């Protein structure tokens, strides 16, 4: 049987350096490769990349014409401290918070929503 594993998640954006630096800092990774149109962030178990898309339009989640396309759920031990760190690095708190107390929805610098959650099992 073939061995298949998730190796990388790629996020579209207008500014790969900004987005790559944000995710590297937030997730404790390192920018392993960077060009004008692509940034690869090496994390402990996978790669996350930021890819420039011409005429990129950020998601307008939860309402609007541009769907979110993807979101990441990040396991955290402390919602409040993790939210503060993400905001310090450039995220913003989403207006809509459907899981108050269980998870927090934030928006990364390129407009992608992501969740911080204490509810993800090890």
Q: Write out pLDDT tens, residues 3-18.
A: 678 899 999 999 999 9
Spatial separation of the C-alpha atoms in residues 30 and 18, rounded to whole Å = 13
Homologous superfamily, domain 1-55: 2,3-Dihydroxybiphenyl 1,2-Dioxygenase, domain 1 (3.10.180.10)
pLDDT at 100 over 90: no
CA torsion 119-73-3-47 (nearest 10°) is -140
Phi then psi for residue 24, to 5 deg, are: -60, -45
pLDDT value for 99: 81
Spatial separation of the C-alpha atoms in residues 37 and 35, rounded to whole Å = 5
Beta bridge partners of 77: none
Contacts for 78 with CB less than 8 Å, ≥ 6 apart: 118
Q: Which CATH architecture has domain 68-122?
A: Roll (3.10)
Domain 1-55 matches domain 68-122 at the CATH topology level: yes
pLDDT value for 87: 97
Domain regions of the chain by residue span: 1-55, 68-122
For the CA atoms of the chain, what is the radius of gyration?
A: 15
Report pTM: 0.91
Residues 20 and 106: beta-carbon distance below 8 Å: no
Q: Write out pLDDT tens, residues 26-84.
A: 999 999 999 999 999 999 999 999 999 999 999 998 888 999 888 999 999 999 999 99
């Amino acid at each position: 049987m073939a061995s298949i594993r998730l190796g990388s998640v790629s996020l579209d954006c207008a500014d790969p350096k900004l987005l790559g630096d944000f995710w590297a800092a937030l997730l404790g990774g390192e920018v392993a490769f960077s060009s004008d149109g692509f940034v690869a962030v090496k994390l402990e178990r996978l790669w996350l990349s930021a890819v420039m898309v011409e005429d990129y339009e950020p998601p307008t989640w939860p309402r609007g014409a541009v769907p979110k396309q993807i979101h990441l759920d990040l396991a955290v031990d402390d919602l409040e401290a993790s939210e503060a760190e993400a905001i310090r690095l450039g995220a913003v708190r989403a207006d809509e918070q459907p899981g108050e107390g269980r998870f927090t929805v934030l928006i990364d610098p390129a407009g992608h929503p992501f969740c911080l959650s204490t509810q993800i099992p090890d």
